[in-house]
Structure formats: structure tokens, C-alpha cells
Amino acid sequence: MIDLNHLDDLARRLSDLVPPGLRESREELQATFKTALQAGLAKLDLVTREEFEVQRAVLLKTREKLDALEATVRELEQGRSPDA
């Protein structure tokens, strides 16, 4: 999920860009911008930082195992036992 504080900040910035004559309903504009941003970001199917880091760790561990297996295969192909 996207950090709601970032969305609030972005919605506030967008409402600050509205011309002064239209700022009477600033809070309403901020709420509208925030809702639109949340809907748009939800469609992007983004992952959280935590989910990303978990998958990164899995990938690193998988890479280590693959490297070890490749080394074992090389040794076996050369006619040596990996434990020797």
C-alpha cells in the first residue's frame, strides 16, 4: 500500500496549484485529488516495500543456491567429487 502521508502531501500540493479564485473549497479539492490519486495508484498493482524486500531476499538466496549448484556441476563434469 502507498504511504497515505505521501498522498496527503501530493493532494495538498495539487490543491495549492489551483488558481486563488477557486481555492474556496480547498479541503474539498484536496479530498478529491487524494481519492483520484488513490484510485489511480490502485490500478497500477504496485507492491509494498516490504513485499519487494522479501522477494529480493528470496532471489538472492536462490542465486546463491544456483551458483553453488553450478560449481558442483562443473566439478562433476571434470570427473572430481565436490567433497574431495
Predicted local confidence at residue 65, as pLDDT: 98
Same domain, 65 and 39: no
Same domain, 41 and 55: no
- Range of the structural domain that residue 42 is part of: 1-46
Q: How many domains does the chain have?
A: 2
Same domain, 66 and 82: yes
Same domain, 15 and 5: yes
Q: How confident is the model at residue 19 (pLDDT cuts 50, 70, 90)?
A: confident
Q: How confident is the model at residue 73 (pLDDT cuts 50, 70, 90)?
A: very high
d(CA 68, CA 26) in angstroms, rounded, equals 60
Q: How confident is the model at residue 82 (pLDDT cuts 50, 70, 90)?
A: low
Q: Is the pLDDT of residue 81 over 60?
A: no
Same domain, 21 and 42: yes
Same domain, 53 and 27: no
d(CA 56, CA 77) in angstroms, rounded, equals 31
